[in-house]
Chain A
Amino acid sequence: MEERSGSFGRFAALGLATAVATTLAAFLSIESDRGILTLLLIIGAGAFAAGRTGILRPWFRQAVEHQRTTGIGLLLSTVALCIVFRDDHFSLFLIGRVLLIILACLGLHLEFGSAGVVNFAGAAFFGVGGYTAAVLNAHSQMPHLLVLGAGGVASALIGSLLLLPLLRTRGHYAALITIAFGLLFRTFVEVNDSLGGPQGLKLDGLRILGWRFNDQLAIGPLHASFYANYVLLAVALLSLAFALVQRLEGSWIGLALDAIRLDEIAAATFGFEIARWKILAFTLGNFLIGVAGALSAFMVGFLAPNNFTFPESLTLVSIVLLGGIGNPWGVALAAFIVVLLPEKLQILQEYRYLLYASLVILILRFRPAGLIPRALRRYFGQPA
């Protein structure tokens, strides 16, 4: 019995991963607005029917039960997508962008999903990572793998300056502090000529151990767009970050973060050093956002203050809200929806911020727990 449910579980996990990848492939390869709308209708109807009948529930349960298999399935699916779209620059770029947005949102997830520290300056920390990468790229010989790390460290350090006022405030006040910081960052890079001012900065391609990311990727007879390089690296970083976040949450550290988010007074009475845990979550979260920003800067090859505005931060927050605060899988799903939809639906393109803003309002009103609500804490794959 155990054995059978195990193999069904792995099958279900891989099956779901394949289904997700296929849907994504279909979505990316359809060009016309009408085609996309039809596909969305089919997905919507399918999701609604599955939700009503509960037919997919055991599959999802198994996928959650076998998180590692699901993760590996999704990883392989992404590689498969790289092969399918090997000469399609735009699709690969979009996949890479989504993956990096997920990475950044995992950082936000640690901050307000786990520890309850609000951060409405996600785009600014993303920008800190990007600008750090750009400056180091132009003015130093630092190996690029370290530059990515430096982007994360810079973001974490600047975040720790923000921690001084953040630890002394709660709720709206803390939120306002982060919003103010976001605006401040944007103005700072805009008026700072050594950072390119409003025109922004250019970056050379990423090079890691002789692997030149801006050259065509060639493995044997297969040739792929240079974006495939970035997608593969993004997948690798994202897998590491996902593993880190999952392990952190399924540990005593995760319990501590949950406890201080849920009730600071009770937590203090039981010896939790509130500041310590908030610092940990905020620093680690900003590190992830910074790394994502640095790699994104390399991938795009260009940075400008306009990419790091408050609406961009709000986009990141809306992804976490839509996915489900406290559920990294939900965050990943929501990132695909929020990033890809306006790119593929030309009608939405102009009104994207309108879409994000209304999305936030609608979710908060009708489904505050998000698409995939937070799951009960677990320490390992199975409950403790």
Chain B
Amino acid sequence: MSTTPPEPLLSCRDLTRRFGGLLALDRFSFELFEGEILGLIGPNGSGKTTFFNVLTGLYRATGGEVEFAGQRITDLRPQQIYRAGISRTFQRSRLCLPLSIFDNIMVGNHHRLDHGPWPNLFRRSLLRRQLEASFGESRELLQIFDAALAQRMREPIAGIRLIERRRIEICRALISRPRLLLLDEPSAGMTRDETTRLMDDILEVKRRFGRLTIILIEHEMSVIERCTSRCIALDYGRKVCEGAYASVAADPLVRQAYLGIS
């Protein structure tokens, strides 16, 4: 074992995002280490999704700093943050409905695809090889989540059930082998059984991908309890509490703000 403490993969210092008079994120600071699964909880409007949007560059931070893998990523554009190795899913599915499952997963694979005119327009045998390799790779990934779905790779998303779409969205986020995966309420709208299965799948992916780090926004407390090694509770954009699930859930502030127990 190394004696020096490991460098955090992600560290946020006083991250702030203001919308007019509203502080959606208020001096949010924390550190995340490689391989962790961090749960992010808090009532609706407490700034969880805003945090994801600031982190992925969709919103500009009003103040504070983010460092990822030793690189300052505050104010980078979404494209640069994706290339740095952060990938996400959305609270409301943002898949491309007319495109097939395969195409949607390939959207997530953007920076590993070859966009040069040579293979795309002229040497089509090259494109065919790339296509076959990518097809195999994405089918293998989807198989972890849903073997039946992996047989339907060429079907358009429009005909796929919502729960299955969420699995595809996670595959889209995973195909580029990110170092940090942001999951925004993956279990929303799912039954308890489906949620349990999805969590099993995520843990399985984590096992296979080894060092994958995950931040999970989730309302379903059983999921947080089972999957996360640590969690943070937000309220009005501020960090209320941080620690293992048991201690966070027991915190009086959290119980009041979130669980509605006074």
Contacts and interface: CB of A to CB of B under 8 A. Distances in A.
A252 B114 CA distance: 7
B63 to A, nearest CB: 23
B78 A379 contact: no
Interface range for B: 35 or more
Interface string A73-107: 00000000000000000000000000000000000
Contacts of B90: 266
Contacts of B135: 384
Nearest to A277: B115
Given A269-B78, A380-B128, A258 B120 contact: no
A114 to B, nearest CB: 12
Given A266-B90, A268-B79, A269-B78, A377 B110 contact: no
Contacts of B154: 376, 383-384
B94 A265 contact: yes
A270 interface: yes
A263 B120 contact: no
Contacts of A383: 154
B115 A258 contact: no
A256 B107 CA distance: 7
Contacts, number: 96
Contacts of A252: 106, 113-115, 120, 127, 130
Contacts of A271: 78-79, 82-83, 110-111, 176
Interface residues of A, number: 28
Interface of B: 56, 58, 77-79, 82-83, 87-88, 90, 94-100, 102-103, 106-108, 110-111, 113-115, 117, 119-121, 124, 127-128, 130-131, 135, 154, 156, 172, 176
Interface of A: 244, 247-248, 251-253, 255-256, 258-259, 262-263, 265-273, 374, 376-377, 379-380, 383-384
Task: List 9 tightest A-B contacts by C-beta distance, closest first.
Answer: A251-B120, A271-B82, A266-B94, A262-B96, A268-B78, A271-B110, A252-B113, A271-B111, A259-B107
13 contacts: A248-B120, A252-B115, A252-B127, A252-B130, A255-B103, A255-B113, A263-B94, A270-B87, A270-B108, A271-B110, A271-B176, A379-B127, A383-B154
